[in-house]
Structure 1
Amino acid sequence: MEFDLSAQPEIVQQMAEYALIGWELAKSWVLSPAAWSQFALLIVAYLLAVVAARRLRGVLTRVITPAPDAESSLAKVRRTVLLGLPLLLPLLAYGFTAIGESVVRSLFDSGAVIAFGKRLFMFLAVRTLVGEIITDPLLKLLGRYALLPIAALYTVGLLDPLMVKLNAMTVSLGNISFSVMSLVRGAIAGGILFWLGGWSTRQTSQFIEAQKDMRPSLRQLMAKVIEFAIFAIAFLLLLNIMGINLSALAVIGGAIGVGLGFGLQKIASNFISGVILLIEGQATVGDFVELDGGESGQIVKMTARAAILETFDGRWIVVPNEDFITTRVVNYSDSGSANRYEAPFSVSYDTDINAVPAIIEAAVATHPDVLDVPYPPDCELRGFGGSGIDFAVEFWVNGLDDGPNKYTSDVLFLVWNALKDNGIEIPYPHRVVEFKGTPPEMAK
């Protein structure tokens, strides 16, 4: 049966041509004894793979499965290997089919059917990989919309003709020219490379953070440098994979340089300031800082452009890195140094003030967070007020007197209880009123 498709679009004519070739191939397979023997070998290879996979899966599961509480690197590798066990069936079928293909070609000098079956088993392996093993969202997206279609085209033998056509189609962008195939290859390779870059960055950061002997700022600096290096290498590899000549990017690099010189000065300044902060370590993640502009909080994150401060009331403040270099910054933490606070109080004029310091210092020293080093609690006489004698007790603690810590409040409770226990009166406000002339008569 013949159809006149001369009036149809070219793509319809090509599809009809491929369909006709497939039909002729199918007829040749159905009528050929060699093809039937190859079909039989495919069925035998698949059944053998089912039996072997079933036995191997149970044995490998028992051997590879680590202890439930094991957290070593080897245990993590073994758990990763266990995730790949669903690939046993299609890969074993592929291997048995490859052995059968060599036998068939030696007997019949033909192996088209069994070669197709081998490609089909490879497609099933790819589908299992994408559907059951890959869990990362980006890799799953690439597998679903790139790897599976490529495997399907390879299975039916259309991958090579499609690659030839895509290589013939070119796209020009200024003085840069590349093929459509380069774009497709770059999109796939770019997704994989940048995923690998993100994964390696996370692993490197975890390793660096575990080195507690290094300063926190140095750990962050090393993590940032390695992150930039990894993604720079990934970008250069991507350009190489796409076939783009690096010398063609000179114009783009010049334009970026001009942009940095004029419009991106602040960004460049903040980036360089961030590097200086990480090198010097004057402010790092975990420090509580107060800037000249009044911003204060704990540094929870330092990026290439700014530092993020978290206040004790839960607000985040984004402070450009340049502000840490060009303005005055008070660092209350500075790698965990102690801070001094004081709690003021008053006693009655009837009190023996010589006994007060010893009583208060002993009471404040019982607080579990009050330090003896660099100085123990110190009670000082501050002055003679209008209603009582003014004292203040100074004490040192590790941390800040805010947020989860209420050191001054705790110390004032201790002062109150110590004064009560020793019969020392805390005065009420007094006022002396002087009358001129005849005083008013008191009511009886």
Structure 2
Amino acid sequence: MDWDLSSQPPIVQNAADFAQQGYEIALGWLLSPAAWSQFAILIVSYLAAVFLARRVRKPLLRLLTPAEDSASILSKVRRFALLFVPLLMPIFAYALAGIGEQVIRSVFGSGTVIAFGKRLFLFLAARIVVRSIITDPFLKLLGRYVLLPVMLLYAFGLLDLLTERLNATMVSLGNISFSVMSLLNGVISGAILFWLGRWSNDQSASYINRQEEMRPATRQLAAKAAELLIFGIAFILLMNIMGVPLTSLAVLGGAIGVGLGFGLQKIASNYISGVILLLEGQATVGDYVELDNGEAGTIIKTTARAMILETFDGRWIVVPNEDFITTRVINYSDQGSANRIEVDFSVSYDTDINLVPDIIAKAVAKHPGVLNEPEPPDVELRGFGDSGIDFGVEFWVNGIDDGKNKYASDVLFLIWNALKEHNIEIPYPHRVVELRNAPSAE
């Protein structure tokens, strides 16, 4: 093509020159046996990969699918391998194209087209991984907006150019300078590292909580220590990936120390108090406690800063760990030990009170939650009231009267039925009214 564009603007002339060059390159490729052979190998590799994947898929599924009720390690490995069956086609295509590339390069000394095709097969594999294999929402989001764009740039040969440009662009933060590429690496690596940290922490906490031979407080302390270790390692790795020397964090550490000394001392105190509570086991999840201000509830969660109590009516109370150390706290549960409960009742003055202790003790002992150890039910005479004779029964239970376990109510029912069975009257208030200066009856 020979057009006279001397009268056109320079931008038109430049565009025409680029178009001419592109046309000549395309024409050269179309007429080149090396190009045609590479295109042919890519097409054959793709078709052969589709055929092989279909033939291999069913036998491979039969081989890798374990029994539904199997929970062995080998079964878990086989189920994990099943996730990657959709990658058969791009893997076969990449392998076959690689073999074809070696042949083409040995014959023609060039393999640019087939190398581009291999990169497209890798992009196809990444797309399958993101769409069909990854199930975690965070990893799927990361794959969709990070992995696939990177693989697409790599397929078209633009990744190295973009990387060089990002490495050359610098960002300064005080005395520390970063390249844009380092910041991107830090963001992506940090997201992956802390996701792995969260996953590892969940796995370690689950494993520790299954160790029933350990005390509950020890399990919680071990879980917290594992959490600190995991995320500490993740932070150090992130600093190394970003190229930040740990000595540069000395100033930051000093600032944190000053902050702890002034504004953050309460947080530090609560954190240290939480460690002490875990070490001593004074209060742990499941214990029923009463605070110094009269509020009571069951500990349902412990954190580094506070403990969370749940009351009978479903309210949550966040109590700083320091309060469990510095104030008076009554622990009714003490990790499942027995507790004594008292119930009061009265009988009329017409009753033979010598029979009451034996009758009531036998009746209360029938309750399935009442214990014989450390002591069986004990009935005591408390006093002589205005309307009747006052008694009290003390009994031990393995728990507390917390609303779920209605020990006091159940025992009162037993006392009522026992007294009625033996015709013992339960008194009610009597009052004698004296009328002064009342008119006499004639």
CA distance in 2, matches of 1:344, 1:16: 105
Matched, 1:137 2:173: no
Aligned to 2:358: 358
Residues 388-407 of structure 1: matches in 2 within 5 Å?
388-407=388-407
1:267–1:440 CA distance, 2 compared to 1 (3 A): farther
Once structures 1 and 2 are overlaid, which stretch shifts more, 45-54 or 118-127? 45-54
Structure 1 residues 17 and 190, CA gap change in structure 2 (3 angstroms): farther
> What is the 5 A alignment of 1:22-421?
26-421=26-421
Cα distance in 2 for residues equivalent to 1:128 and 1:54: 16
Give SS of 2:340's match.
Answer: strand
Distance in 2 (CA, whole Å) between partners of 1:124 and 1:229 is 38
Residue 122 to residue 27, structure 1, CA distance change in 2 (3 Å):
farther
Q: CA deviation at 1:233?
A: 0.9
Partner Cα distance (2:18, 2:292) in 1:
74
How many angstroms does 1:196 deviate by? 0.6
Unaligned 5+ residue runs, structure 2? Answer: none
SS in 2 for 1:51: helix
- Aligned to 1:375, the other structure's residue is in SS state coil
CA-CA distance at 1:325 after TM superposition: 0.8
Contact 1:178 1:244 in 2 (8 A): no
From the superposition, tell whether residues 155 and 348 of structure 1 become closer, same or farther in structure 2 (CA, over 3 Å).
same
Maintained 8 Å contact 1:175/1:248: no
Structure 2 counterpart SS, 1:147: helix
State the distance in 1 between where 2:156 and 2:149 align. Answer: 11
User: Which deviates more from structure 2 when the two are superposed, residues 367-376 or residues 74-83?
Assistant: 74-83
- 1:192 maps to amino acid: I
**Matching residue's letter, 2:376:** P
User: What is the aligned length?
Assistant: 436
How far residue 437 of structure 1 moved from its aligned partner, in angstroms, is 5.9
Offset from partner CA, 1:292-314 (integer Å, 9 cap, x none) = 12232111111111111111110
Task: Report the secondary structure of 2:178's partner residue.
Answer: strand
Q: Which amino acid aligns with 2:205?
A: S
SS at match of 2:371: coil
1:113 to 1:438, Cα distance in 2 relative to 1, 3 A? closer
Moved more, 65-74 or 211-220: 65-74
- Aligned-partner Cα distance in 1 for 2:97–2:124: 14
TM-score by length of 1: 0.92
Preserved contact between residue 29 and residue 113 of structure 1 (Cα < 8 Å): no
8 Å Cα contact 1:377/1:393 also seen in 2: yes
TM-score for both structures, normalised by structure 2: 0.93
Q: CA deviation at 1:353?
A: 1.1
Report if aligned partners of 1:30, 1:36 keep a CA contact under 8 Å in 2.
yes
Confirm or deny: 8 A CA contact 1:150 1:159 kept in the other structure: yes
Task: Give the Cα–Cα distance (whole angstroms) in 2 for the partners of residues 136 and 35 of structure 1.
Answer: 42
Local SS of the residue matching 1:391: strand
Structure 1 residue matching 2:345: 3-state secondary structure: strand
SS at match of 1:214: coil
Q: How does 1:14-25 map to 2 (within 5 A)?
A: none
SS in structure 1 at match of 2:360: helix
Structure 1: state its 5+ residue gaps.
8-12
Cα distance between partner residues in 2 of 1:148 and 1:440: 109
Aligned sequence identity (%): 68
Distance in structure 1 (CA, Å) of the matches to 2:270 and 2:374: 37
Per-residue deviation at 1:98?
Answer: 1.2
Deviation of 1:56 after TM superposition, in Å, equals: 2.4
Over 3 Å counting, the alpha-carbon distance change for 1:128 and 1:246 in structure 2 is same
> Partner amino acid for 1:321?
N
Query: Structure 1 residues 57-66 or 170-179, which shifts more?
Result: 57-66
The answer to whether the 8 Å contact 1:346/1:427 transfers is yes
Q: CA deviation at 1:355?
A: 1.2
Cα distance change, pair 355–222 in 1 and its aligned pair in 2 (3 A): same
1:20 is displaced (CA, Å) by: 8.9
| RMSD over equivalenced CA pairs, Å | 2.4
